[in-house]
Structure 1
Amino acid sequence: MATMKSVLAARNKVDVVDVERPVPGPKDALVRVRACGICGTDTFFLHLGGMPTGADGSTRAIPLGHEPAGEVVEVGAEVTGLAVGNRVVVNPQAAPTGIIGCGGELGGMDEYLLVENAKVGTSVAVLPDDMPFDVAALNEPMAVARHAVNRSGARPTDKVVVFGAGPIGLGAAIWLKLRGVEHVTVVDIIPERLETALSVGADAVVDSAVEDLTGRLKELHGEAANALGQPRAGTDIYLDAAGAPAVFDSVIANAKWHARLVMVAVQKKGEVDLGGMLRSELTLIASQGYPTEIFEVTAELVEHRERFGKLISHRVPFAEVGRAFELALTPGAAEKVVVTFP
């Protein structure tokens, strides 16, 4: 019996265990994972010690990793459009046995990943032979960012503010600029993140820890008013990729008449000034996952690989996967960690 390494969620750490290597059926493909990103969902499972199973707080260990990129090593007899040696990214939500790395039976941080019912354009997408695996592993989070931008309805003439210069916020900034949006400002409190925002194409950045956000937005986007005629910044769209209660407060304090707020970050508990929203007729738009965007982003990710590659702060070999998750668990230690496989 052939075995492989699998990474399981434990309490504030990971366990690397030996499991049976999958054997693809006639409709499946087997992918040798070459890179897999770590995101906030992974650290959420580590804080809990696995997947919640009941109201008593009990959990079960699950394989981690939902941002895999790799190389096809076996193809079932009934699979079309795939060949051994193809570089691919995988849609974690297409697995019939549950979302890969998020409670399903499979994990993208395993050495080998079974692609069940392998179908190009649905469960898997093929990449050029020269596409770096580490950048390819950004496909899934960049689909999340793309969905938020799609939900915003941003037009070239819009002025947009992105709160949070993590991977999703920076990905959104890239998509906004590729969409032709006139002016994109990124707001964060970590100077190094803001430097990255400028390097990937943001028109301006604001360090809200030391700068007057309202003054800067009026300077950058001009002045407008809310429904009552009170002076406000001329920003058309706000995108929350930070998830801090202060973001909602800042948006409501600055929102002009008919401004829009796209919420893509997981929210912490906090109170919302509904009266303030009313005074601006502020539209709140929720953005969850990537209903159609998982492979919508792939061609542009390939085309702009150097630009997207700047989002990766740490590349950690699989032999040090424990350290990779320690980095991801430590606030401020890393922006985007990608585990690389031999």
Structure 2
Amino acid sequence: MMEMMRAVAVLAANDVRVVDDVPKPVPGEYEALVRVHACGICSGTDSQIIAGTLETGFGGYPTVLGHEGAGEVIALGSKVRNIRIGERFIHPNLYPDAGNGYTKTHGSMAQFGLVCDRDAMREDGFAEEHIPFPKQHKFPNSISYIDAGVLLSLAECHSAAKNFGAGSGMEILVYGAGPMGIALAMFCKLRGAKTVVQIDSVSARLEQAKAVAKVDETINFAEENVSEVLNNRKFDLVMDAVGFTSILYEGSGYLKPGGKVCSLGVLKKDDRLIDTSRLQCNTSLHMLNFPYGEYRIMDDTIAMIESGKVNPKDFYSHVLPYDQLEEAFQLVREKKALKVILTFDN
């Protein structure tokens, strides 16, 4: 008889709930079963899947949420030889057809998931396109499961700062002071940026940006006129960590000649067309709405955590059991939480 598990699923637009009829994954011969302990809620992707505004990478309703999961290996397939029982992984996954009518986008908000011994499959002659679950990574026991619920977000922002070209002596303007915006600003400073200015409308988040990212200045656009505060100042890079084309147009106006406006926030499906005539002349547009290189930079990100340069606890404010799902997403929607981590240990 097929064994079921509990999971967080979106059944239709704006209908998210805990369900108990998702098939528990059975590991194949090159796969390992992971018990999920925690999963971060992504205020960008997860929220858009729930709202029905995500166009790219969406599996279709009903779908199991979650790409920021963290768990431990509890069982091994017969040909697994590079993964051990008890090892910790982020992004345990499900197959696109998760069973019983469910898809996955991306499936980490469940009691169990899978990772793959990709090296063993390569060694045994499998072509890369036939090896599942490319987005997975071990993390050390020194990082708790709850802290690991923000590890992927941190690596995404670390890779974004690198991809956007943040570097020594630069002046950078960042729109958005959610966990991604603050992490992006922090990695820009760690990469040597001379000045980082951060814009948001939530005072507590701007204070967090000062404390964590050590930004040089903040602007609360709910209380201040951004243009007046900046007073014709220009920047090498302007970064949108929110996800609106209107920010790209506005931010372009604050660029130095040859500067770059950078899009990190996930654009909604009805806000994806960009009129380049509205961007300032002699500037560039860098689209990075979905991460690139986040797993290649993961070990460096983990090293920064272990050395004390980065503290994952600075990027989440609430930890709730998954059965308090409604409260968790309400905190996210109302911006009363910086980030919420769901736990599956009960």
Fold match (TM-score > 0.5): yes
Structure 1 residue 85 displacement after superposition: 1.1
Query: What is the count of residue pairs matched by the alignment?
Result: 320
- The TM-score, its normalising length taken from structure 2, stands at 0.80
For 1:241 and 1:310, the matched residues in 2 are separated by 17
SS of equivalent residue, structure 1 residue 169: helix
Q: Evaluate the alpha carbon distance shift between residue 28 and residue 41 of structure 1 in structure 2; reply closer, same or farther with a 3 A threshold.
A: same
Please give the per-residue CA displacement for 1:75-100, whole angstroms capped at 9, x wherever unaligned. 223223321111221376xx76489x
CA deviations on 1:96-129 (whole Å, 9 max, x unpaired) are: 6489xx9538610110112245559954322221
1:205 to 2:218 alignment: yes
Residue of structure 2 in register with 1:194 after alignment? 206
How big is each residue's C-alpha offset from its partner over 1:224-278, in whole Å with a ceiling of 9 and x where there is no partner? Answer: xxxxxxxx42311110112245523432332221121101113364997755634
**Partner residue, 2:48:** 44
Residue 325, structure 1, aligned to residue 338, structure 2:
no
Residue equivalent to 2:257:
257
Contact between 1:27 and 1:77, CA under 8 Å: does it hold in 2? Answer: yes
Identify the range of structure 1 (139-148 vs 252-261) with the bigger mean alpha-carbon deviation.
139-148
Q: What's the counterpart of residue 236 of structure 1?
A: 236
1:46 partner SS: helix
Q: 1:135 aligns with which of 127, 143, 147?
A: 147
Indicate the percent of aligned positions where both proteins have the same amino acid.
Answer: 28
Spell out structure 1 runs of 4+ moving beyond 6 A. 49-52, 270-273
The one-letter code sitting in structure 2 at the alignment partner of 1:141 is S
1:194 is matched by which residue type in structure 2?
L
Superposed, 1:329-340 pairs within 5 Å as 330-340=333-343
2:21 is matched with which residue: 14, 18, 36? 18
Q: Give 1:76's aligned residue.
A: 77
Tell me the SS of whatever aligns to 2:312.
Answer: helix
Structure 1 stretch 295-304 or stretch 109-118: which is displaced more? 295-304
SS at match of 2:189: helix
Q: Relative to 1, partners in 2 of residues 1:189 and 1:271: Cα closer, same or farther, differing over 3 Å?
A: farther
Cα distance in 2 for residues equivalent to 1:283 and 1:49: 27
Secondary structure of the residue aligned to 2:21 is strand
- Correspondence 1:173 to 2:185: yes
From 315, 338, 344, give the equivalent of 1:311: 315
1:340 Cα deviation from its structure 2 partner: 1.3
Comparing 148-157 with 262-271, greater Cα deviation is found at 262-271
TM-score by length of 1: 0.81
Q: Supply the AA of the counterpart residue of 1:238.
A: V
Cα contact 2:92–2:113 (8 A) shared by 1: no
Q: Give the Cα–Cα distance (whole angstroms) in 2 for the partners of residues 182 and 175 of structure 1.
A: 12
**Aligned residue identity for 2:176:** G
